[in-house]
Amino acid sequence: MSLPTPTQYWRAAQRWQHHLGQIGTVVASTIIRVAPPELAPQTPYSFLIVQLDSEKIEVMGVDHETFQPGDQVQLVLRKLGQPSDSSVIAYGLKAKKIGGVTHDEN
């Protein structure tokens, strides 16, 4: 799960074009608190299954945002990890909340 090389990054971009900007609904979400080295600086982060129009997709949530099943999200481009001096700054698809279900505070 290492951060992508430039060629891997280019290939991944072909997939992003299909999903970028799509709006969907959170099916399930967790908060990952222990992660591999490349992602450790971003912990804790959300990881979600999102229902889009015709398929489901698994993505990280933006920053430290938390999600609930039923939340409306949009797929956006965000940094995937900590950039270094010797690698490209890796971006990838993440989910950003654009509307939430009403949760009973009690």
* Residues that bind another protein in the complex, under the rule CB under 8 A: 1-2, 12, 15, 27-40, 45, 47, 49, 55-60, 69, 80, 92
CB of 78 to another protein, least distance (A): 11
Residue placing its CB nearer to another protein in the complex, 38 or 65: 38
Tell me, letter by letter, the H, E, C secondary structure of 38-105.
CCHHHCCEEEEEEECCCCEEEEEECCCCCCCCCCEEEEEEEECCCCCCCCCCCEEEEEEEEECCCCCC
Residue placing its CB nearer to another protein in the complex, 12 or 72: 12
Place of tokens 């099916």: 27
CB of 74 to another protein, least distance (A): 17
Please state, in angstroms and as integers, the Cα–Cα distance from residue 35 to each residue in 11, 29, 31, 41, following that order: 24, 16, 11, 9
Residue placing its CB nearer to another protein in the complex, 58 or 99: 58
CB of 48 to another protein, least distance (A): 8
Under DSSP, is residue 28 helix (H, G, I), strand (E, B) or coil?
Answer: strand
CB of 20 to another protein, least distance (A): 15
